[in-house]
Amino acid sequence: MAQPGNVLNFSGHLHLRSRLVLSILSGKAVKIDHIRSEDKNPGLRDYEVSLLRLLERITNGTVIEISVTGTALLLKPGVIAGGPVTHDCPLSRSIGYFLEPVIMLAPFSKRPLQLTLRGITSDDRDLSVDLIRTVTLPQLQAFGVSDGLELRIRKRGSPPLGGGEVQLICPIVKELKTLNFVERGKIKRIRGISHAVRVNPQFSNRMIEAARSVLNRYIPDIYLYSDVYKGEDSGKSPGYGLSILSESTTGAMHCAEALSQPGVAPEDIALLATRALLQEVQRGGCVDSHHQTLVLLFMVLGSEDVGRCRMGEPTARTIQFLRDVKMAFGTTFKIVPAEKSDPASTELVYSCYGVGYVNANRTLS
Amino acid sequence: AHASFTQDSRRNRRRDWTKLIYMTSLSPDEILLDKQTRIADAGGGMGDEDFFTVIKKSGEEVEEIDTSKDTLSPDHLKVWEDEELLDSLRGLFITGSSAEAAITGEDDQ
């Protein structure tokens, strides 16, 4: 029986992933009710159940109870075990949906996690595996999670049928370093991955051309890699997309991507991705809007010192996340304008005192 | 006195994110949408007629999906066809030393 103070109570189906992560990291049970209880099709979706199964497998001793109607769930967290795990993701969500919460947990496992995920490698709802590999994982290096951190894209799989496969290898750490990242620097290079499977490989080059038409004005150091997978490795459905990122002199990264839609030319997809990147760059900060929650979480878990990071305005997801963090760890952030002299600037500096989270699961060798 | 006044108005225009996030019960979307509305107004409009409130049924609407990537809207991103807006970012790249110099100095193609 958990004490009342040790249960996090939430309601609604939104923010499920971050709430489960907070529960597992803080060791507090989480109770979520009213999961689509007003909906015509109430309860948990297949991908949410699949996520719970995945979390159950990378941990040891986790107890999950789901109500008969599926509209309420209780999770009592165990320890994060890690080790080799293989998981088939349902085709209703892409692999990115599952990778994001796993990346938040993996550095604190008992043994290094080697996770193989099969399913859709990129779709328009979650970060594609390309961005996770090129942007999300490098963010972890600032916190001291770096040696052997790797995401291999073995096969690509486009929606609706997927057929992709990736492997995440994540080292374990004792504790995270305190982040102090307030200089955004200037953008020195732009990189991108243009992928195409089961379509004319020329599509990939057409996307690169279109993206360059906008970006060439800024800097010469633009390298857009054309990544064409063939045969078995290209999954079961046709599709293409452009993932693009900018990197500054201080290592600040912003990213965006767009995926193929029926009846839209590859050039338009590339323009969409490029413009979305410019929008991210305009929002400013050292971390883009997709990675706010990950960076903020690791700042909370950092060593007992003040961590600081410059970012743009919080997204709706980030706002809720900050409130959930306060419930789980009692940590509040101080959020102040980054440029006090410039009223037009919307950049903010987020700072907090780390809880000094120590990986107690880690096996001593 | 003038300086302190401008500083004051500036502070008003700025949003106190710490307060909005931790000290109000506004939903995240309300915080982001209501750029103008002050929190004080929230409880204001309680007239007699507002006694009954209609509970919004979510059945007919499209389900809000828990996602980390916002849906890109081509119409919303159309603003980036504008050359001036594109040029306004030049200062953020290493090639543009300062925003003004970059706009007048460099001209591609």
Domain span at residue B91 reads: 72-109
DSSP-assigned states of every residue in A339-358: -TT-TT---EEEEEE-----
Instruction: Compare CB distances from A127 to B58, B68, B86 and report the shortest one's residue.
Output: B68
pLDDT tens, position by position, A244-263: 999 999 999 999 999 999 99
CB B63 to CB A36 under 8 A? yes
Rounded CA-CA distance A43/A195 in Å is: 36
The whole-number average pLDDT for the span B59-69 is 73
> What pLDDT score was predicted for residue A289?
94
Three-class SS state of B70: coil
Q: Does B62 touch chain A (CB under 8 A)?
A: no
pLDDT at position A148 is 92
Domain count, chain B: 2
| CATH 3.30.1110.20 matches A187-283 | no
Do the beta carbons of residue A234 and residue B34 sit within 8 Å?
A: no
Structurally, what CATH architecture does the domain formed by A1-79 represent?
A: 2-Layer Sandwich (3.30)
| Span A74-84, average pLDDT | 96
Whether residue B52 lies inside any domain: the answer is no
Cα separations in angstroms, A224 against A78, A212, B21, B85: 43, 9, 39, 23
Segment B19-25 shows an average pLDDT of: 90
Phi, psi of A85 (to 5 degrees): -140, 140
Q: Which two tokens stand for residue A240?
A: 């293409």
pLDDT at A1: 46
CA distances from A69 to A36, A38, A39, A190, B95 (A): 10, 12, 12, 48, 59
Nearest chain B CA: its distance from A158 CA (Å): 17
pLDDT band at A273 (very low <50, low <70, confident <90, very high): very high
Identify the CATH number of the domain defined by range A81-176: 3.65.10.20
- Residue in A258, A275, A316 closest to B29 by CB: A316
Domain presence at residue B61: no
- Closest residue to A343, CB basis, from B13, B32, B86: B13
Contact A255, A288 (CB under 8 A): yes
Residues in chain A closer than 8 A to B98 (CB atoms): none
For residue B54, pLDDT over 80 is answered with: no
Domain ranges within chain A, ordered by starting residue: 1-79, 81-176, 187-283, 288-353
pLDDT in tens, A170-215: 999 999 999 999 999 999 999 999 999 999 999 999 999 999 999 9
Residue A258: closest CA among chain B residues belongs to which residue?
B72
Q: Are A242 and A267 in contact (CB under 8 A)?
A: no
Count of CB pairs separated by less than 8 Å, A with B: 118
The C-alpha atoms of residue A23 and residue A334 are separated, in whole angstroms, by: 23
Q: Among A38-42, A289-293, B7-11, where is mean pLDDT lowest?
A: B7-11
> Looking at chain B from residue 65 to 104, which residues have their Cβ under 8 Å from any Cβ of chain A?
65-72, 74, 77, 80, 86, 89-90, 92-96
CB atoms within 10 A of CB A126: 24
Can you give the C-alpha Rg of chain B in angstroms? Answer: 22
> Are A275 and B80 inside 8 Å of each other by CB?
yes
Tell me the percentage of chain B whose pLDDT exceeds 70: 50
H/E stretch holding A297: helix A292-301
**Residue A219's pLDDT is what?**
94
pLDDT at residue A242 is higher than 60: yes
Strands of A82-88's sheet in order across: A82-88, A111-119, A164-170, A150-155
Kind of pairing between the strands at A164-170 and A150-155: antiparallel
Q: What percent of chain A has pLDDT over 90?
A: 92
This model of the complex carries an ipTM of 0.83
Nearest to A216 among B18, B96, B108 (CB): B108
Contact B72 A272 (CB under 8 A): yes
Query: What contacts A322, CB < 8 A, 6 or more positions away?
Result: A296, A314, A332, A333, B21, B22
